[in-house]
Amino acid sequence: MPPKAPKTTKDRPIRVRMAPSPTGPLHVGTARTALFNWLFARNQGGAFILRIEDTDKVRSEKKYEDEILAGLAWLGLDWDEGPLPMVGSRGTHGPYRQSERTELYKKYLQELLDKHEAYYCYCTKEELDAQRDAMSSQGLPPKYSGHCRNITAPPAGRKPQVIRFKVPETAVEFKDLIRGKVVFDAALLGDQVIAKDLDTPLYNFAVVVDDELMEISHVIRGEDHLANTPKQILVQRALGFHEPVYAHIPLILNADRSKMSKRFTDTALMQYREKGYLPDALINFLALLGWHPKDDREVLGKNQLIKEFDLARVQASPAVFNEEKLNWLNREHMKTLSDKEIAKMVLPLLAAENLHADEAFVEKWVSVERSRANNLRELVDLGKFFFVLPHYEPSLLVWKESTPEEAKKVLGELTEELKKIDQKNFTKEALAGILADLTSERKRGVVLWPLRVALSGLRASPDPLDIMDVLGKEESLRRVTAAADTL
Ligand code: GLU
């Protein structure tokens, strides 16, 4: 009898899920998977579900779950439902946790056992190794031998080791929205372990039960899960479940096309928050890792992404993580914010460095320093000297075509001129006038170089006029006088 056509989710409401395992820091790739699911759900008016896959009791940790929740909150990827009876807006409930759903998995494990679609396996690790060796010496592919498949009663004195699913020797075919038709030969798989015991299901089983019970219509996940899909489809069929639509999104590679790894790239999402990237810029960047809009626009806000997102334009070939592009996008997104908005965002970073100033100062500081920074962290690093003058060598005050004596003289003249302007007339125009006078008979570098160093302690900085404008009369004068005194 030909196999029945699988039940599909094609005509069901759109429901997608993000199913991270809390076993390590939240990976950028996981954040991208979450984003694609979220964009798809929001574009389609469907539901986005968060499910923490913590069946691996040894490796799952609460701190990683917290990080997932904090990461999604930072990116603004809100989820729609959850088991906790917290009424209210999105993202205030849930998430689902597999560790709280053991009874459900147990029921379906028992069903498979009762239907003889699954069985207890008594083989120990040593026996499995021996079976595998024997098979490979006969040139057979390494897979479970099927030794316990037809055991009807527990062998005397032996303990069940795991529960295995009877994998039929058949071709499994499915249509992936991104990769097209995918065919796997399940004969190569061997009977798969789906649980350690009735209370301890493994990933490939729990995921199938959850996707069915949560009425997931589309499974959008990383390409690294492609090989799991036929295993999951076979379990779905054995339980008479629906087969969701699959979309496996491409791998992310480093710029040199090597596999993305911590050695070359910051792979933890939260590192980008610490570095002061804007969440909307990161969202924009992640969205373009494997997807692009119809036209060649690249700078897109969240609402535009929601409007434009379409799984049909997700590419099958790997996406390349390009940090320069991230920086560019972040600068573009920073441009959409006012000085005040950036000031507000950068305040916690300043506080963390023990740098304090009033709001008006911070805002003005942002206005002169912002264009030089790729992110808020850089803004703080580049512009720290406004808050505290770094230590610098007095020799730095001397321009290459000048002498210490001349630098001292120039700084002395500057001190006298600055003193003459009162604070309320301490404007860029007035300061420009002073500089014009002082440079009329000298090369500009003779004056501007020591002034810049005196104000910033640095070789490169914003325009000295801008610095003085931010620092104000008193502090500018203090720095210039102090510099003159060191020579
Ligand atoms: N828990 C799996 C992971 O973190 C994802 C499973 C899935 O999306 O089906 O990689």
d(CA 420, CA 154): 99
Task: Give me the half-sphere count of Cα atoms (radius 13 Å) on the Cβ side of residue 49.
Answer: 25
Calculate the alpha carbon distances from 53 to 56, 108, 210 in Å: 8, 17, 10
C-alpha dihedral, 76 to 82 to 84 to 86, nearest 10° = 50
Mean pLDDT of 399-416: 95
Q: Which protein residue has the closest C-alpha to ligand 1 atom 5?
A: 19
The best mutation among 32, 205, 225, 231 to test binding of ligand 1, ranked by most ligand atoms within 8 Å of the C-beta, falls on 225
Task: Give the active site residues.
Answer: 262
Q: How far is the CA of 308 from the centre of ligand 1 (A)?
A: 26
Query: Does residue 71 register a pLDDT over 80?
Result: yes
Q: Which protein residue has the closest C-alpha to ligand 1 atom 7?
A: 19
**What is residue 98's predicted lDDT score, i.e. its pLDDT?**
96
DSSP 6: P
DSSP 96: E
Task: Give me the half-sphere count of Cα atoms (radius 13 Å) on the Cβ side of residue 366.
Answer: 25
Q: How far is the CA of 53 from the centre of ligand 1 (A)?
A: 7
CA 294 centroid distance within chain: 24
The best mutation among 98, 221, 224 to test binding of ligand 1, ranked by most ligand atoms within 8 Å of the C-beta, falls on 221
Atom of ligand 1 nearest to the CA of 222: 8
d(CA 357, CA 378): 18
Q: Which protein residue has the closest C-alpha to ligand 1 atom 10?
A: 20
Q: How far is the CA of 222 from the centre of ligand 1 (A)?
A: 8
Confidence band, pLDDT 50/70/90 cuts, at residue 85? low
Nearest-CA neighbor of 451 among 441, 440, 461, 464?
464
Single-letter code of the amino acid located at 273: R
**What is residue 93's predicted lDDT score, i.e. its pLDDT?**
73
The 3-class secondary structure across 380-435, one letter per residue, is: HHHHHHHCCCCCCCHHHHCCCCCCHHHHHHHHHHHHHHHHHCCHHHCCHHHHHHHH
Q: What are phi and psi of 364, to 5 degrees?
A: -65, -40
Q: How far is the CA of 101 from the centre of ligand 1 (A)?
A: 16
Atom of ligand 1 nearest to the CA of 203: 1
Atom of ligand 1 nearest to the CA of 207: 9
d(CA 337, CA 281): 12
Name the average pLDDT for the chain.
93
Q: Which protein residue has the closest C-alpha to ligand 1 atom 6?
A: 19
Q: Which tokens go with 426?
A: 């301490």
Confidence band, pLDDT 50/70/90 cuts, at residue 89? very low
Q: How far is the CA of 95 from the centre of ligand 1 (A)?
A: 15
Ligand 1 cavity residues, CB under 6 Å = 19-21, 53, 207, 221, 225
Q: How far is the CA of 20 from the centre of ligand 1 (A)?
A: 5
Q: Which protein residue has the closest C-alpha to ligand 1 atom 3?
A: 20
Atom of ligand 1 nearest to the CA of 232: 9
Query: Does residue 373 register a pLDDT over 50?
Result: yes
Mean pLDDT of 47-65: 94
Mean pLDDT of 136-156: 89
Higher pLDDT, 263 or 11: 11
β-strand 171-176 against 162-165: which pairing, if any? unpaired
Hey, CA dihedral for 335, 338, 339, 345, is it positive or negative? negative
Mean pLDDT of 263-275: 87
**What is residue 88's predicted lDDT score, i.e. its pLDDT?**
47
The pLDDT tens digits of the residues spanning 92-130 come to 677 999 999 999 999 999 999 999 999 999 999 999 999
Query: Does residue 2 register a pLDDT over 60?
Result: no
Atom of ligand 1 nearest to the CA of 18: 8
> To which residue do tokens 């690294």 refer?
224
Q: In angstroms, what is the C-alpha Rg of the chain?
A: 32
d(CA 282, CA 278): 6
Which helix (H) or strand (E) segment holds residue 49: the answer is: strand 47-52
**What is residue 264's predicted lDDT score, i.e. its pLDDT?**
67
Whether the CB-CB separation of 141 and 153 falls below 8 Å is answered with no
The pLDDT tens digits of the residues spanning 270-309 come to 999 999 999 999 999 999 999 999 999 999 999 999 999 9
Any idea what the Cα angle at residue 372 is, between residues 369 and 376, rounded to 5°? Answer: 75
- Report DSSP letters for 250-315, one per residue: PPEE-TTSSBP-TTTS--BHHHHHHTT--HHHHHHHHHTSSB--SSS-----HHHHHHH--GGGB-
